[in-house]
């Protein structure tokens, strides 16, 4: 990858994908005076609605990729399932950060785990299942476990918990016998993630460790500083994330998710080659956000160590909040929520709400962690 510098105000930056992560990337790029171009097939994509230019086409459309490359000095991605082939085409002409090879590792749970091992970071005991023979050969130690499709899973989708061999066989059938990994079910004490940004020169900066609560496989809230994480554990998570990024020669923003087990051990879960839902607090609680660093890394600008200036709680706003107990659609009481101290509302501009759909997030920053937590409880009670 070249170390070309694209100065603010002089260039266009492109993004593959038009979801909320693309939208917040576009906002950050525009704040620095870049023109922004989104490639996404959906006419109403959250990022396409706010970009300077929306190329509405399939990700593998040759003419669209040529147009994106012609328009932009550098191109990034906002989702890991962007076809690797599309990134390869773009890389023939432009800086692509992160590179297709790194994105490809993140697309496949088996490849991802192999990369964690190669980076010297412990992950859950697992087996790769491609054939019925692999399934039969699975060790009893992996049960109870979680069967996860190797590709395309997100927000707890594409995975099933299994207690016995009979349940494992049934679950693999239900997942249509696609390639999977079976992971041992681990006794979790808590979940963490680390967001790093790395540039082509190999410099790396990191946000502080954040503590995440998932409900039904979907992120519900993130807290910083992580309330249950001591300095040694935090240092280990930061160092592991940095090793994982460096050993892929990664350029861009990378999120690494970890489990902390009940015995205190740190285990890496998965990673995402882009800004992450658990890093949304950085928009209001840090002096540079994860999206600012995504822009800086791809544009070849200096990275700088971000500083957390306020304790923060990030609440995810799922579509469920748009429906009352009677099932009727309603608007959440934003006027009451915004009357609370230090609430920053981010809505993604999605036309229709559905249960489980990520509609926005609320960052609650405060002078103290206790105050942020109390305000978050008050906001959650109002949103009911």
**Is residue 138 close enough to count as binding ligand ADP by CB under 6 A?**
no
Q: Looking only at residues 198 through 227 of this chain, which bind ligand ADP when binding is defined by CB under 6 A?
A: 214, 217
On whether 383 is known to bind a ligand per the annotation, the reply is: no
Compute how many residues bind ligand ADP; rule: CB under 6 A. 17
| 3 annotated binding-site participant | no
Angle value at C-alpha 144, between 263 and 112, nearest 5 degrees: 75
How far apart, in whole angstroms, are the C-alpha atoms of residue 101 and residue 195? 19
Interface segment toward ligand ADP; rule CB under 6 A; list 135-143, 152-160, 243-251, 319-327:
152-160
The piece of 52-60, 153-161, 202-210, 361-369 that touches ligand ADP (CB under 6 A) is: 153-161
Distance CA 21, CA 36 (A): 14
DSSP code string of 19-87 = SHHHHHHHHHHHHTT-EEEEE-S-TT-TTTTTSSEEE-S-TT-HHHHHHHHHH-SEEEESSTTS-HHHH
Cβ-proximal residues to 217 (8 Å cutoff; 6+ apart), any chain: 155, 156, 157, 159
**38 within 8 A of 51, measured Cβ to Cβ:** yes
Known binding residue 113? Answer is no
Among 188, 215, 239, 338, binds ligand ADP (CB under 6 A): 188
The smaller minimum CB distance to ligand ADP, of residues 185 and 347, is found at: 185
Write out the DSSP string of 229-245. --HHHHHHHHHHHHHHH
Q: Is 269 one of the binding residues for ligand ADP (CB under 6 A)?
A: yes
Q: Considering only the stretches 21-29, 57-65, 154-162, 292-300, report the one whose residues sit in contact with ligand ADP under the rule CB under 6 A.
A: 154-162
Q: Is 109 annotated as a binding residue?
A: yes
284 binds ligand ADP (CB under 6 A): no
* 3-state SS, one letter per residue, for 34-52: CEEEEECCCCCCCCCCCCC
Work out the burial of residue 75: count CB atoms within 10 Å of its CB; fewer than 13 is exposed, 13-18 middle, 19 or more buried.
buried
Q: Any contact of residue 357 with ligand ADP (CB under 6 A)?
A: no
CA distance 221 to 197: 22
Quick check: 146 binds ligand ADP (CB under 6 A)? yes
Among 8, 83, 156, 349, binds ligand ADP (CB under 6 A): 156
Residue 112 found at the interface with ligand ADP (CB under 6 A): no
Report which secondary-structure segment, H or E, holds 97: none
The reply to whether 27 sits in an annotated binding site is no
The answer to whether residue 365 forms part of the interface with ligand ADP (CB under 6 A) is: no
Residue 80 marked ligand-binding:
no
Q: How far apart are CA 107 and CA 150, in angstroms?
A: 8
Q: Which stretch binds ligand ADP (CB under 6 A): 24-32, 132-140, 147-155, 325-333?
A: 147-155
Tell me which residues touch ligand ADP (CB under 6 A).
124, 146, 148, 153-156, 183, 185-186, 188, 191, 214, 217, 257, 269-270
Query: Residue positions in the annotated binding site for ATP?
Result: 109, 148, 153-159, 183-186, 191, 214, 269-270
């Amino acid at each position: 990858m070249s170390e070309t510098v694209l100065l603010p105000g002089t260039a266009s930056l492109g993004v593959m994908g038009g979801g909320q992560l693309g939208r917040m990337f576009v906002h950050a790029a525009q704040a620095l005076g870049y023109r922004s171009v989104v490639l996404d097939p959906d006419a109403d994509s959250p990022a396409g609605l706010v970009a300077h230019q929306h190329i509405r086409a399939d990700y593998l459309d040759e003419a669209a990729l040529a147009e994106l490359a012609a328009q932009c000095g550098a191109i990034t991605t906002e989702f890991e399932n962007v076809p690797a082939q599309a990134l390869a085409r773009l890389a023939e002409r432009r800086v692509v950060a992160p590179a297709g090879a790194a994105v490809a590792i993140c697309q496949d749970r088996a490849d991802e785990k192999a990369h964690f091992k190669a980076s010297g970071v412990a992950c859950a005991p697992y087996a790769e299942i491609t054939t019925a023979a692999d399934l039969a050969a699975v060790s009893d130690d992996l049960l109870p476990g979680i069967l996860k499709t190797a590709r395309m899973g997100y927000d707890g989708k594409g995975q099933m918990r299994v207690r016995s061999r009979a349940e494992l066989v049934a679950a693999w059938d239900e997942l249509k016998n696609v390639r999977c990994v079976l992971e041992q079910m681990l006794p979790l004490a808590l979940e963490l993630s680390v967001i790093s940004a790395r540039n082509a020169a190999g410099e790396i900066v990191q946000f502080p460790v954040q503590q995440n609560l998932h409900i039904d496989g979907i992120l519900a809230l993130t807290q910083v500083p992580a309330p249950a994480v001591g300095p040694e554990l935090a240092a280990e998570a930061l160092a592991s994330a940095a090793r994982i990024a460096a050993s892929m020669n990664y350029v861009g923003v990378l999120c690494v998710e970890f489990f902390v087990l009940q015995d205190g051990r740190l285990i890496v879960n998965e990673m995402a080659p882009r800004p992450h839902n658990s890093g949304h607090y950085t928009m209001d609680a840090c002096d540079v956000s994860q999206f600012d660093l995504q822009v800086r890394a791809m544009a070849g600008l200096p990275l700088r160590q971000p500083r957390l200036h306020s304790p923060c709680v990030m609440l995810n706003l799922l579509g469920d909040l748009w429906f009352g107990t009677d099932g009727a659609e309603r608007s959440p009481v934003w006027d009451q929520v915004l009357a609370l101290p230090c609430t920053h509302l981010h809505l993604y501009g999605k036309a229709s709400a559905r249960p489980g759909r990520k509609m926005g997030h609320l960052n609650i920053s405060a002078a103290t962690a206790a105050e942020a937590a109390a305000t978050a409880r008050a906001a959650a009670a109002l949103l009911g």
